[in-house]
């Protein structure tokens, strides 16, 4: 069992494994849906429309190069109330970069997003989901939080809508972070079924920043974020 005390300003032993957040411990029936945007842009407006029909706000992790290619889509996402966060500047393998190179890359993407939305991202999803201790340490040194997922739709494999729906609905739980991709072939078809399931089951879907715990917390060996509970004096 690995429990590391955060936020990043708290001293952490170099022998402790550094983990991003995969899910959040909560007694409320809440979860978050996220989309990674790195390549195409075929269905961004359709995703916005579907989410809008259900009054759902989600988090889009966007690559800086994608922001440059599709600034109008970034603006549309922001205007629709979606949370726009960092997915690197050009989808590099962070494990092969130095801490200085990682910080420069993250900063470049942050600046591109902020130039359009007026909001500087506070969360990042590492490209390819890859990370090691030096990657996580570099990101947290910037005051940003690295985010993974505990429910993977695998929509990028072009599974049909029924398979995507089954994968998500059979795995989601309180505090889950679900991974989708924009420009995935069958995600727009699967998404309404998934949202209807979540609503029927009593889930509230929120952007990731609203799911995360405030104040001091620990991250266990599964990447689940837990609140720090102060011991009461006898």
Which residues belong to the active site?
A: 36, 181
Give the C-alpha separation, 140 to 142, whole Å: 5
Query: What is the crossing angle of helices 99-117 and 133-141, to 10°?
Result: 50
Rounded to the nearest 5°, which phi and psi values hold at 181? Answer: -130, 145
Is residue 170 packed enough to be buried (19+ CB in 10 Å), middle (13-18) or exposed (0-12)? exposed
Q: Which residues contact 189 (CB under 8 A, 6 or more apart)?
A: 161
């Amino acid at each position: 069992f690995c429990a590391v005390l955060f936020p990043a300003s708290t001293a952490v032993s170099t022998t402790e494994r550094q983990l991003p957040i995969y899910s959040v411990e909560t007694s409320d029936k809440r979860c978050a849906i996220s989309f990674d945007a790195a390549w195409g842009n075929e269905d961004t407006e359709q995703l916005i429309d579907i989410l809008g029909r259900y009054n759902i706000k989600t988090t889009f992790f966007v690559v800086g190069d994608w922001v440059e290619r599709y600034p109008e889509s970034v603006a549309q996402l922001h205007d629709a109330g979606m949370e726009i966060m960092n997915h690197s500047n050009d989808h590099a393998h962070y494990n092969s970069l130095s801490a200085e190179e990682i910080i420069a890359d993250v900063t470049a993407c942050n600046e591109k997003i902020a130039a359009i939305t007026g909001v500087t991202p506070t969360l990042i999803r590492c490209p390819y989901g890859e990370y090691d201790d030096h990657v996580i340490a570099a990101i947290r040194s910037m005051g940003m939080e690295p985010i993974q997922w505990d429910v993977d739709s695998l929509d990028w494999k072009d599974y049909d809508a029924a398979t995507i729906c089954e994968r998500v609905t059979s795995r989601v739980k309180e505090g889950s972070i679900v991974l989708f991709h924009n420009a995935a072939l069958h995600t727009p078809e699967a998404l309404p079924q998934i949202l209807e399931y979540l609503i029927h089951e009593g889930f509230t879907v929120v952007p990731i920043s609203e799911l995360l715990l405030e104040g001091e917390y620990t991250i266990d060996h599964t990447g689940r974020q837990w609140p720090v509970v102060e011991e009461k004096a006898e």
